[in-house]
Amino acid sequence: MDIWSWICELPNSDQWVESESPPTFQLVSSKPTKADTTQSIQLRAERTSGSNSEALVTFSVYVHGFHPSNAEKTLWVSDACPLASDKPFLPLLLQLVQEIVSRSPTAHDSTCPRSQLQKLRPEPVAWVLDSHSPESLSSFFNLVFLTRLFWLCVCDAPSEVGSLYFDSLLTPHIELFSCNHAHVLRTFLVSIGVDAELCFMRSVGYMLAKWLILREVGVGLQMLTPVPKLGFSYAMEAHGLWTLKAYAPVMAMTRTRFKGQEKQYSAIEAKESVLRYALAHQQLEVVIQLEYSVAFHDGYIQVNTRVNNLRFHIVKLGFSKNDDMDYIDERHFPSRIRVWIGPEIGSTYVASLSLGRSTENIEKEVKTQRTVKGNFGKMKISRVKATARLSTRTRTKNWRWDQDAEGNAAIFEAVLCENNSGMEVATNKPPNTISEGDKWENGLGKRYSGANRMFSKSGGLVFAGDEYGEGVEWRLSKEMEGSVLKWRIGGQIWLSYWPNEIKTSYFETRCVEWCDEVDLPLIPCK
């Protein structure tokens, strides 16, 4: 499916006769039914004229064969695009992006209403068109068009249209929504700004969540090859910071621990089914910021790095604050975080790596108390009573921070430990098996409320540089001065679900990993 190439090859204004039958791109069609009818979804381009006889083209999405009369039905019509313009299809791409952003299921507590993003500036989208070849734009346009088509076919059309879209259009091209096709998307997300980026990625995340639910339920999608790594990540260097941003639907993450009924949703107990349905509409949003500095010395170059900001948000994707009110505080939470930074594999210019944090050896404070009691006097038998008390106090933290190294890559790692037992959450199960009538008591219960909560009210987690201030240091060969190196930056995140407000025995842990490249400029300031 190469919609963009088909659009770019449309006749120009001089060759296109308005009375000709409109060019049609067959997006998808089904096999003929018993009534010998074929169901299809089509994209058409129609030549029109504007003021002063200006040549225009409009695009329409049609469905055919879904009604008893087999009549065509128009689902969507684009704004007019001027054929004489140097970027004739910029209005089309801009309209698709704006409509995706406007349909975004933003988080319930979002401070950026969709209404404020109804009018995106055309300059960033035009820059994306100018900076990439038509070949590289093809996958990006397909991604944008399929996302917009999701809302048309699933929300604004009969259910049969949605089924055809999921089975025969989205499924064969689901690979578009993996990190393998993120090159143009990275440029696009950076150019439109972080507010529009969040809305766009939450719209994509909601669509992928629906596809993953249908696949798990078994509506024609369960026999597919394994699910690709859905979600996006990109990294960049600016203003002395290395930044990695990433998005992943929770259901697309690899499951590492699980306890529940290994059955399809239809066979699961109703309460657990509703819980898992609510948990499926969640997306992990990550921002990893590492601060770096470069110092030039006689004989070597010193590169220092420290954690600046690590932000992890688990966003509940929905359209109403009343959705799943019984499960409003049931969500996944970060249980282990692993971030690494270092030179590219095979590099020989690094002389040494020095870590800035030693392995912690927790000290225990021991208190001993001895008491002696006795009776003395004229009593023939003396009575002496002695008691001894020994108390041990250990100071524990919810998060344990470590540094490590693998080759010349520095690793920053944080592990969440349960309050009462001290066990690592990511590799264990809740301390009690929850059933009806049991009382839920553990260190992670009520984790989003109270003065000592370990997560924000919205379920997020933020680590700042003052909490993990120790940095690491590399010494590089002086010969690298004046060059711009490519360094690796990556993250591996574990999310766990333990019951919070409800009583259930269901729990799970999932994991996702990203890796990208960032620039390290070794250019002295003059």
Query: In the predicted model, is pLDDT for residue 147 greater than 90?
Result: yes
Lowest mean pLDDT among 209-213, 441-445, 491-495, 517-521: 441-445
At residue 113, the 3 state secondary structure works out as coil
Average pLDDT of the chain is 82
Nearest alpha carbon to residue 59 among 31, 94, 33, 105: 94
| Residues 58 and 48 sit within 8 Å (Cβ to Cβ) | yes
**What does the alpha-carbon distance between residue 294 and residue 305 come to, in Å, rounded to a whole number?**
9
The average pLDDT across 132-157 equals 89
* pLDDT above 90 for 301: yes
Least confident interval from 169-183, 315-329, 394-408, 475-489: 315-329
What is the reported pLDDT for 386? 62
**Residue 153, helix vs strand vs coil:** helix
Q: Using pLDDT thresholds of 50, 70 and 90, give the confidence band for residue 435.
A: very low
pLDDT band at 65 (very low <50, low <70, confident <90, very high): confident
- Alpha-carbon span 35 to 225, nearest angstrom: 32
Please answer whether residues 337 and 491 qualify as being in contact, where contact means their C-beta atoms are separated by less than 8 angstroms.
yes
- Residue 7 host element (H or E): helix 3-8
pLDDT in tens, 243-263: 999 999 999 999 998 877 655
User: Using CA atoms, how far apart are residues 108 and 323, in angstroms rounded to an integer?
Assistant: 10
Q: How many residues does the chain have?
A: 526
Distance CA 130, CA 141 (A): 14
Task: Please name the residues in contact with 266: beta carbons below 8 A apart, sequence gap of 6 or more.
Answer: 217
> What's the DSSP call for residue 135?
H
* Percent of the residues in the chain that have a pLDDT greater than 90, as a whole number: 38
**Could you tell me how many helices (H) and strands (E) the chain has, helices first?**
8, 20
Q: Could you read off the pLDDT of 109-132 as tens digits, one per residue? A: 556 555 555 578 888 888 888 888
Q: What is the pLDDT of residues 255-296, one digit of tens each?
A: 998 877 655 544 556 778 888 888 999 999 999 999 999 999
* Each residue's pLDDT tens digit, 348-375: 999 999 998 777 766 656 666 666 666 6
Take residue 113 and report the two structure tokens written for it: 């209403």
